[in-house]
Structure formats: structure tokens, C-alpha cells
Amino acid sequence: MAVAMSSLRTDDDTWDIATSVGTTAVMVAAARARETERDDALIRDPYAKILVAGAGTGVWERMLDPEVGARIAEVDDEIAAIFEHMGNYQAVRTRFFDQFFTDAAAAGIRQIVILASGLDSRAYRLPWPDGTVVYEIDQPKVLEYKADRLAEHGVQPSARRVEVAVDLRYDWPKALREAGFDATQPTAWLAEGLLMYLPAAAQDRLFELVTELSAPGSRLSVETVGTRAEERREKMRERFERIRELFGFEDTVDVAELMYDDPDRADVAEWLTAHGWSATAVTSEAEMRRCNRWVLPDALYTDGGFSQFVTAQK
């Protein structure tokens, strides 16, 4: 079957923090910043707001306004509910993977790899044990922006942070090894907010390489690709266009158009189980309900759950 892909993507495209896939990292950081300021916050990221404020992406900076939800509700109650739900999803997702790393560290793992790290600030904000090394793999300009922006504010990593400036479509295992990665030591891997930007074959190849690099005792956690109904996506695009026009938001990248809609994509937990891992999965809906953050009205809930959070051990 054919892979649906927008003209916004090409096989050798690149980006910085203000363009293409890079803008999605700013979107996620904005969600973490908003969550951090809640009285009942599930996570605390004191650096997210700094990273968003310097990115120059416009609309995501406006999302930091605490009144934006109420302003959207004046225009469209359903969009306001979806906006709140999206923020809750990001908070729950972040919390889940924070706990994954906390558990891995408690089990004695001191080698961490974050695939397509974007504006992930875990190397700075999590209480890593002494001797922990966090390898961050991403586009050179994305890594450079994050490090420079936090350094400007005197923020230092809480572990030894090692940048691996390479596109995951190229020979990233070689670059990772050259940066000091030791394939004989257990590793905790994270693929968060990544798989939707890869076609099915590239997803399989990614996990083949991770498996090859993982010593016994290694752990892996993954956010799977969410299901998307095309008709619903188009309706959402029309609604957000109305919001954009009313609030004067400048043109922004349609995030959905950056993703690969590949019907041949493997079930991650099943693939890992078949390749030497012991894997379990929880739906994002179940995790959001467990955290009392499911606010999507029944009338808007049509996709059967957005994604899964997978954890595995080798």
C-alpha cells in the first residue's frame, strides 16, 4: 500500500528549531511550559519556557498565555476542549517517560540515549545518579539552539550530556559510538514524538539498529503513532484556521502534514517481542484516565485512542 506523505517532506530534508519538524519540538516545549505553571502539574520543566521564548515560532509563544484557553472557548467550545486535551496528553506522556528513566536509573542503568531529542530537557531537569551519560541525537541546529539557549541562562545539565549531531536517516550508530557510546553496557533508550515522522520501513530499521546496540538489561520506551481519521483531521484543520484568523496568528506549519501515514507500520510491542525484547503497552487513553487528565467530550472521541506508550527490556 502507498505511504501518504505531504510535499512538506522530502527524503533528505533538514530543519532548524523554527522550521518543518523542528517546530514540533517548540510546540511540545510550550505544552510543558503551560503544564509547569499549573497548581496540579504532573511534571515540572523550569526550562521549557526559556526554550520556547527564544525559538521565534510565534504561535507557540502565544500558547504560553494563561488566558488563551478561555479566549479560544469564546470562539469554539470544541476547539477549547481539544486544546486542553492536547496539553493534557503532552503532560501525561512526559510524566510516563520521566518515570521510565527514573526506573531505569534505579535499576543501575547509567547510559541514556534520546532519539530525536528536540527540546527535551531531561538531561538538565531529572535528578540523574552520578556517572550517568545522556546522549542526545538530533539535527545539528536543533541541538545547538537548545544548548546555547540554556547556557545563556546559566543552566547546566544534571548528567554528562553528549550531543550526537546527526540525522537518524544516516549512520547514527557510527556517530553515537564515536561520541563515546558503549554497546557492551545496558542502555535506556527513548523514542518519544518520533515514529510519526518515519515511514514503516524506517521505523523497522530504527529498532533493528537499537536492538543491535543494546546489551542485555537494556530498556526501551516508545510513543507509537496515533490513529488519524482523514475526515476528522480536515475538520480540525478548518477549525484551527478559523482560530488562526481570529487571533491573528501568523501562518504555522500543519503538523499533521509533516507525518507519514503508513498503513504497513508494524505494531511496536509486537515487533519488539519478536526481536528479543519483553514488551508491554498501555494506551494513552488509559494513562490519561489514570492521571485524571482525560477531558475529551464523547462527541469528539472517534479515533479509538490516540497512541500507545510501550516499554521493553532486553
Domain ranges of the chain: 21-313
> Which triple of cell numbers denotes residue 58?
510565534
For 137-174, what is the HEC assignment? EECHHHHHHHHHHHHHCCCCCCCEEEEEECCCCCCHHH
Q: What is the pLDDT along the chain (314 residues), one digit of tens a residue?
A: 344 444 343 454 444 455 444 467 788 898 999 999 999 999 999 999 999 886 655 555 666 666 676 777 777 777 788 888 888 999 999 999 999 999 999 999 999 999 999 999 999 999 999 999 999 999 898 899 999 999 999 999 999 999 999 989 899 999 999 999 999 999 999 999 999 888 899 999 999 999 999 999 999 999 998 655 566 667 666 766 766 666 665 555 555 555 567 678 899 999 999 999 999 999 999 999 999 999 887 766 665 557 999 999 99
Give the fold, CATH level 3, of 21-313. Answer: Rossmann fold (3.40.50)
Specify the pairing of strand 187-191 against strand 219-223. parallel
- pTM of the prediction? 0.86
CB crowding 139-177: b at 16 or more within 10 Å, else e = bebbbebbbebbeeeebebbbbbbbbbbbbeeebbebbe
